[in-house]
Amino acid sequence: MRSRPQQHSRYRLPSRMALCLCLMMNFALPQAASSEEVVNVYSARHYDTDMALYQEFTRQTGIKVNLIEGKSDALIERIANEGEFSPADILITVDAGRLWRASQRGIFQPTQSEVLANRVPANLQDPNKLWFGLSKRVRVIAINKAAGLPIPVSRYEDLAHPALTGTVCMRSSSNIYNLSLMSSIIEAGNEKSAEVWAAGVVANFARKPQGNDTAQLKAVASGECAVTVANTYYLGRLVGSDDPAKNAISDALTVIFPNQEDRGAHVNISGAGITRYAPNKDNAVRFLEYLTSDFAQRLFAEGNNEYPIVGPTSGPVAKLGEYKEDQINAVVLGQRQAEAVRVYDRAGWK
């Protein structure tokens, strides 16, 4: 079991009906004493190192972090259902596509902060300041080092080449990472060209889509297939592990940052926004600003195998080398999500 810092309380939030009844009957809801400064964080990130972030924030500011964890879509639905009675101040989730989904549900309110506007790169924040990126993951190509490939591969588009028939492993098209990747490919060209690419990749499958990114990397390392795409977060776990078996997987792979000669590699984010009815808005702003601090950014990189949005790369992912990233605004990854679903369906990518 994970140990948790004492100052970060978790509690089960009452249902919307219970909230309404409590208000009607003048009953006090479970919360900190009125003299205590708090911020209520709903987070879809489940990493032990995030606890260190919260602990340091409390130490610096005296503001207590109340944490509710859950899956992204469940938390979005929960906040939407709670409406104006929601205790949530901040929603943190992974993938720009999910941040966009939350904004479409009316979860966020605009946040005016010079710190966030200046610290977070323009392409990694919502144009209307509804949410802000906090850390990055790059979707890279991984190749079996020993077997190699019959043709040079340097772009996502190369994975559709007929020479790669029977060599490609991929996860499901419904996975949010693949939806966002497809959104970026549509943005770089158009829906028709993206469908041609997807159909070409499907024709090259070594097996039907299955498993997570780690499963794809294991399959390539073992020789079950020869090439895949995966987020650098998963590679960082393997590279930085103390387990020789995991190191052996990463050692068996050649990692390529795609499209370095044109638009750059597809980048996705963890991010957060302040909720529409945040009861502790000022504290929430301070918390978001803190997450872009040098300390927080370094911990994202070194503790969670991510890339910081500000400052130098450190930790296991730094061993993967430097890269050029696609500069499209991350909001596009959500805006083109419906198109991405249609493209995958027509291409037969299950």
Q: Are residue 273 and residue 243 in the same domain, yes or no?
A: no
Q: Are residue 156 and residue 95 in the same domain, yes or no?
A: no
In a domain, 288, yes or no: yes
Cα(124)–Cα(54) distance, rounded to whole angstroms? Answer: 22
Task: Enter the tokens of residue 69.
Answer: 């964890």
- Where is average pLDDT lowest: 104-113, 170-179, 222-231, 308-317? 308-317
- Residues of the chain with pLDDT > 70, as a percent, come to 90
Confidence at residue 12, expressed as pLDDT on a 0 to 100 scale: 37
Cα(306)–Cα(328) distance, rounded to whole angstroms? Answer: 19
3-class secondary-structure state, position 147? coil
The more confident residue out of 7 and 63 is 63
Q: Are residue 130 and residue 147 in the same domain, yes or no?
A: no
Q: Nearest 5°: phi and psi at 325? A: -110, 150
In a domain, 69, yes or no: yes
Reported confidence tier of residue 36, pLDDT bands at 50, 70, 90: confident
Q: Print the SS3 string covering 206-273.
A: CCCCCCCHHHHHHHHHHCCCCEEEEEHHHHHHHHCCCCHHHHHHHHCEEEECCCCCCCCECEEEEEEE
Give which of 106, 47, 8 is closest to 270, Cα–Cα.
Answer: 47
Reported confidence tier of residue 23, pLDDT bands at 50, 70, 90: very low
Q: How many angstroms separate the most distant Cα atoms in the chain?
A: 72
In a domain, 278, yes or no: yes
Reported confidence tier of residue 16, pLDDT bands at 50, 70, 90: very low
Q: Are residue 183 and residue 307 in the same domain, yes or no?
A: no
Q: Are residue 178 and residue 262 in the same domain, yes or no?
A: yes
In a domain, 44, yes or no: yes
> What is the total count of domains within the chain?
2
Burial (Cβ within 10 Å: 0-12, 13-18, ≥19) of residue 77: middle
Instruction: Output the domain CATH number for residue 27.
Output: 3.40.190.10
Res. 10: pLDDT tops 70: no
- pLDDT digit string, tens, across residues 80-94: 999 999 999 999 999
Contact 254, 142 (CB under 8 A): yes
Q: Which domain holds residue 175?
A: 137-266+322-347
Cα(177)–Cα(229) distance, rounded to whole angstroms? Answer: 10
The count of C-alpha atoms lying within 13 angstroms of the C-alpha of 193, restricted to the half-sphere facing its C-beta, is 10
- pLDDT digit string, tens, across residues 235-279: 999 999 999 999 999 999 999 999 999 999 999 999 999 999 999
Q: Are residue 217 and residue 333 in the same domain, yes or no?
A: yes
Strands 38-43, 132-144: parallel, antiparallel or unpaired by DSSP?
unpaired
Rg, C-alpha atoms of the chain: 21
Contact 270, 303 (CB under 8 A): no
Contact 43, 69 (CB under 8 A): yes
Res. 308: pLDDT tops 70: yes
Q: Are residue 174 and residue 83 in the same domain, yes or no?
A: no
Q: Are residue 313 and residue 327 in the same domain, yes or no?
A: no
What pTM does this model have?
Answer: 0.85
DSSP letter, residue 319: G
Q: Are residue 193 and residue 253 in the same domain, yes or no?
A: yes
- Looking at every residue in the chain, the average pLDDT score rounds to 90
Among 27-36, 232-241, 280-289, top mean pLDDT goes to: 280-289
Q: Are residue 241 and residue 339 in the same domain, yes or no?
A: yes
Q: Kindly state the average pLDDT of the residues 126-133.
A: 97
Q: Are residue 261 and residue 275 in the same domain, yes or no?
A: no
Reported confidence tier of residue 46, pLDDT bands at 50, 70, 90: confident
Reported confidence tier of residue 17, pLDDT bands at 50, 70, 90: very low
Confidence at residue 26, expressed as pLDDT on a 0 to 100 scale: 31
In a domain, 116, yes or no: yes
Give which of 105, 109, 57 is closest to 278, Cα–Cα.
Answer: 109
Q: Are residue 242 and residue 303 in the same domain, yes or no?
A: no
